[in-house]
Structure 1
């Protein structure tokens, strides 16, 4: 009879494939157990199978585990720590923001430095992320940033008009992270923590004299991050994205989004 450890090891080999399958609409844990037990008739029963999967998920996903569907959501936020650029002419050190976007299913990540968190810069960064991913998700989930949400509400937050226009242009929707619901933003917060270690730390001792120069360095480090194997899995973010998620994103319009500006004139 197979030992418990070997039996569990075989189960752990099955879980990375299972995790990917569960990102497809319609697949369930019970359906995956049926596939497993068909090949391993002496394997774990359904309830034990589910228990071991939850335990495995917690180990490989230190942040809260959610079963994200491919192409469903893109999470966006700013890192708490800023970066800096030195003005060539004056020597003045200017603080710049660190924007992060992550696709829920593949954890494929985009980030960039931007001048501010004002709505114009925020909307441009969100658009740059979709252009990087070469597709639009079904929904964009910002934290309750002032640049995204005019009025917070547990049930129906008010989205700023520019962001709403961007969503309409890209045929997507805005779903702000719900107040007091940490699961809504655990993925992007986890991504920010990882990027602090893999990108931010490698930048803070270097002097940059333009936003373009800083971003080029960020994107080089980002490529390495997306290419690394995920914890406990035999695949990387870029592999997951290309194989499972990219085709689930909606095609992008050829034209980039143009911000509308309004002015009010007083009639004499």
Structure 2
């Protein structure tokens, strides 16, 4: 039968305890014999009140409802009827067994303003390049609050880190959640791991800038049900509604997407009160982490050495640093789309507007020059 010795022993022990012989079970089905000899261990003890776990599971889907609250209500009902309730720990254990046996997803508590789930939608949307007129694929970025399911969707020309950094979503929300939950994709997570994923350094700097913590979803786990549902919603509704329209450029496509997402956010929930828009602005937005005064910019970090002419070379252009620095000293350079910043350890020693599209240009701050050079400049 492919049974272990311990299973065979348990069956004989159960049969002896029940006083059941082979003749009494020979004509029964497997499930009937199992129920007769080996009752479900999750079945309630006879002197305890059986909780309605289907009701418990349904109620956990409502805002701010927890297992502790439902256990307290269960205990109160038992007191009214004179029944004996389960202890809280056993109540939790029984619910987990019930969820596993029925295939129901365990309800994960969600708090207002706590977490934002982010992901890419699977199917691209097409738009025409405004210069060539050729069709181009745009990739849908989705950010959604776990509590309200209030969503932000935007199309990008690629799925690189520059598109992934979530800045536009935070600005649309008017703040950041305390947790940011991405998938274990290479864009935001350099090394996927079930327990200790390694974040992309730039993505980690984004979190520090906005005062949020990045907690990648576990591999093959249901940590991002809202964003994954929003991905399906984008593919199923936004893409379908806009399927026959033709767009020129990303801006026109995104304008149509924003309007459609606003409509969906304002649509009432099917299984709870209000709508994502109402729940977000009423319960979540007041709790968000305020946005910093300066927008986060994706930066490229490099090393450079101070030359004899007190300049560092970055992308074939030269930027000045204080001449008091030792020639050949290794410096850190932070490059954004608009600026070039130079650091000596933790101290920023120079900041320049970045040259774009040109080479062999010098950006020189007079205060960086030696005294003799400054006096010659004045003369």
Structures share a fold, TM > 0.5? yes
**Residues 178 and 243 of structure 1, relative CA distance in 2, 3 Å threshold:** same
State the match for 1:150 in structure 2. Answer: 190
Q: Once the 2 structures are TM-superposed, how far is the Cα of residue 264 of structure 1 from its aligned partner?
A: 4.3
User: Cα 1:234–1:34, aligned 2, differ >3 Å: closer, same or farther?
Assistant: farther
How far is 1:204 from its partner?
2.3
The aligned counterpart of 2:145 is 103
> Per residue, is there more strand in 1 or in 2?
2
Provide the residue aligned with 2:213 in structure 1: 173
Q: Is the 8 A contact 1:64 1:186 kept in 2?
A: no
Q: In the superposition, relative to structure 1, how do residues 204 and 262 fare at CA in structure 2: closer, same or farther (>3 Å)?
A: same
Normalising by structure 1, report the TM-score: 0.77
CA distance in 1, matches of 2:277, 2:75: 29
User: CA, structure 1 residues 264+21, in 2 after alignment: closer, same or farther (shift >3 Å)?
Assistant: closer
Equivalent pair of 2:121/2:142 in contact (CA under 8 Å): yes
Partner residue of 2:125?
83
* Residue 31 of structure 1, CA deviation: 4.4
Structure 2: gaps spanning 5 or more residues? 1-51, 308-327, 329-379
| SS of aligned partner of 2:62 | helix
Cα distance in 1 for partners of 2:267, 2:186 equals 33
Query: Which of 131, 135, 138 is the equivalent residue of 2:175?
Result: 135
Change (3 A) 1:34 1:216: farther
Of the two, which has the highest radius of gyration? 2
Aligned-partner Cα distance in 2 for 1:232–1:214: 31
Aligned twin of 2:325: none
- Larger displacement relative to structure 2 (211-220 or 240-249): 240-249
Partner of 1:211: 250
Q: CA offsets per residue over residues 40-62 of structure 1, 9 Å max, x none?
A: x79xx9889x98xx99xx9xxx9
Q: Distance in 2 between matches of 1:205 and 1:213?
A: 14
Task: Give the alignment partner of residue 188 of structure 1, picking from 214, 221, 227.
Answer: 227
- Aligned residue number for residue 42 of structure 2: none
User: Which residue number in structure 1 is paired with residue 351 of structure 2?
Assistant: none
Query: Which structure 1 residue ranges, 5 or more long, are not aligned?
Result: 1-7
Question: What is the total number of aligned residue pairs between the two structures?
Answer: 240
Instruction: Give the Å deviation of 1:210.
Output: 1.3
- Counterpart in the other structure of 2:204: 164
Q: Which has the higher contact order (CA 8 A, sep 6+)?
A: 1
- Match for residue 20 of structure 1 among 57, 63, 71: 63
Partners of 1:134 and 1:27 in 2: CA distance: 32
Which is richer in helix? 1
Q: Which stretch shifts more, 184-193 or 141-150?
A: 184-193
Measured against aligned partners, the alpha-carbon deviations of 1:131-178 in whole angstroms (never above 9, x if no partner) come to 111111111011012110111112211111111111000011111111
CA distance in 2, matches of 1:217, 1:156: 39
Q: CA deviation at 1:29?
A: 2.4
Distance 1:221 1:70 in 2: 24
In structure 2, C-alpha distance between the alignment counterparts of 1:192 and 1:46, rounded to whole Å: 42
Q: CA deviation at 1:184?
A: 1.0
CA distance in 1, matches of 2:122, 2:174: 27
Q: TM-score, normalised by structure 2?
A: 0.56
Mean Cα deviation higher: 171-180 or 189-198: 189-198
In structure 2, distance between residues paired with 1:63 and 1:198: 25
- Deviation digits for residues 45-94 of structure 1, max 9, x if unmatched? 9889x98xx99xx9xxx987432111221100001000112013212111
Maintained 8 Å contact 2:122/2:235: no
Corresponding residue to 1:202 among 221, 230, 241: 241
Distance in 1 (CA, whole Å) between partners of 2:185 and 2:213 is 16
Give the counterpart of 1:229 among 265, 268, 272.
Answer: 268
